[in-house]
Structure 1
Amino acid sequence: MTYELDAWIFSADIEGHHGFTYDFIGAPIFEGFMEATPHAGFLPQLNSGFSIRRIPSCLKALDQLRRYRSRWKRQRFFLEKFRFLRRWVSPALLQVIFDDQLTGYFTGWYFHEDMIWTHIVPVLFPFFKVAPPEVAARFSFEVNAPMLLQRQQGVLPLGCHAWAKFPAFWQSYIPAAKMLL
């Protein structure tokens, strides 16, 4: 479990909130990220601030990702130099090969590790299962908590992340949130 200091846990029922069902589960991410509107759609990634990862699957993915690096360099080189080759590569793989997060990971530059785990790794290694956003919302909220709570028929998730950024909503559930108003 990853529990950043701006997370909060509401329940001990990890299994009931699908915490052990996937290789990675965390709060859903919306279009617009932290500035998402209540009508924003889900993005295909999850947030890692309050998340659970299946360690054996992560270790396997890290090993395969390490070995994939040299192939990635070749793929990227040829797809940049010979653009006509792109028609034979799936759109999902093309997006991953040229993704800034993967480039950052492989070059030692800046990257968001949750984007690597929930967007890059599942495309490259289909064995790695990430919770769909609708299921992830039963596990954790971050942005759009009022809308997610309504979708969950008023049932809180296992926990939440970044509650201090939205104290007006969380004050009814987290006593410390009132101090931030």
Structure 2
Amino acid sequence: MTPNVAIVVPAYRRFADLTESEQISWRQSTDVYQTYPFVLVCPDSLDASGYVSAVLAQPVRLERFADTYFSGTASYNKLMMSLDFFQRLAGYEYFLLCQLDVFVFRDDLPAWCAKCYSYVGPPWFAGFEPPLAEARLWAVGNGGFSLRKVADCLRVLHARQPIFSWPTLLRECFAPGLGAGLRRLPAYLRRGLQANQTHHARNDYAGQEDIFWSLICADRFAWYTVPTPTEALEFGFDYHPTLMLELNGGRLPMGFHAWDRHRNAFWTKLFKEQGYSLNNPSCGL
């Protein structure tokens, strides 16, 4: 049975202006997930006419947002934590966020949706991008290729839980020293009382949206569930993919985030088997 899940692809450039690897990502995603609805999240001003695919069972749906949300990482993070974004997807039980630096190998969505997790993404290593010799799995996980349960995200955005504890806020306040901390204290007190909430109207979180939706939400809400980092290897790879492949018993995941960053002979051969020819593979990994 096909789950009620949409494939959500953020895009802020015309298709003709995408890099070769980004165009490959789009074509592979539409091929593998062709029976699912595709939602292109894009700026109001974008000419999205190039984002079409003959293999899709239905036309690509456009969800347009203010251009300012696509001006940089910080504004994109705000979009991905906004009530408006999730309300527009409320007709779906889940959505798979599939950025244009993702390469998908197969459709495992029915199995992952059946697990009923609130959030799934490729696992992180401690330190996010540590040297290979020091890499150890830490937490779930990267938002660029992630499966999210819409109702759970909306529940978070209507809940009033603190994002950071008072001790954490005070440590941050006084980190520059006592004098600077005392001058900053009124602002931090206002922040703790008026903002610093998971509720959409008072959410002042300024960090990466995937850290909010994975680490913070899983810590603040007992009902909000994520897989273990080891289980998430079956879902996706990100940094040090050859090590992740080893940790996953030599099995490929459903998808691979930031694949263009990791071009080498192994991945070039693998992608050739998928029908793509990659230019200039690097030697490292």
Q: Under a length normalisation based on structure 2, what TM-score does the superposition of the two structures give?
A: 0.48
How do 1:148-163 and structure 2 match up within 5 A?
148-163=244-259
Counterparts of 1:38 and 1:19 in 2: how far apart (Å)? 34
Which residue identity does 2:279 align to in structure 1? M
2:231 paired residue number: 135
Q: 1:174 Cα shift?
A: 2.1
Detail structure 1 runs of 4+ shifted over 4 Å in the superposition.
none
Q: Is the Cα–Cα contact under 8 Å of residues 19 and 25 in structure 1 kept in the other structure?
A: no
Residue 158 of structure 2 aligns to a residue whose secondary structure is helix
Q: 1:58 Cα shift?
A: 1.0
Q: 1:151 Cα shift?
A: 2.6
Q: Is the Cα–Cα contact under 8 Å of residues 121 and 140 in structure 2 kept in the other structure?
A: no
Q: Is the Cα–Cα contact under 8 Å of residues 140 and 232 in structure 2 kept in the other structure?
A: no
2:161 paired residue number: 68
> Higher helix fraction: Structure 1 or Structure 2?
1
The aligned length equals: 154
Q: Is the Cα–Cα contact under 8 Å of residues 30 and 43 in structure 1 kept in the other structure?
A: yes
2:204 pairs with 1:107 = yes
Q: Residues 119 and 177 (structure 1 numbering): CA distance in 2 closer, same or farther, change over 3 Å? A: farther
Q: Is the Cα–Cα contact under 8 Å of residues 44 and 133 in structure 1 kept in the other structure?
A: yes
2:269 paired residue number: 172
Counterparts of 2:252 and 2:269 in 1: how far apart (Å)? 12
Counterparts of 1:20 and 1:34 in 2: how far apart (Å)? 31
- Runs of 5+ in structure 2 lacking a partner? 1-95, 172-191
2:129 pairs with 1:34 = yes
Q: 1:45 Cα shift?
A: 3.6
Which residue identity does 1:178 align to in structure 2? L
Higher Rg of the two aligned structures: 2
Q: Residues 3 and 177 (structure 1 numbering): CA distance in 2 closer, same or farther, change over 3 Å? A: farther
Q: Which has the higher contact order (CA 8 A, sep 6+)?
A: 1
Q: Under a length normalisation based on structure 1, what TM-score does the superposition of the two structures give?
A: 0.73
Measured on the aligned residues, the alpha-carbon RMSD in Å equals 2.9
2:195 pairs with 1:80 = no
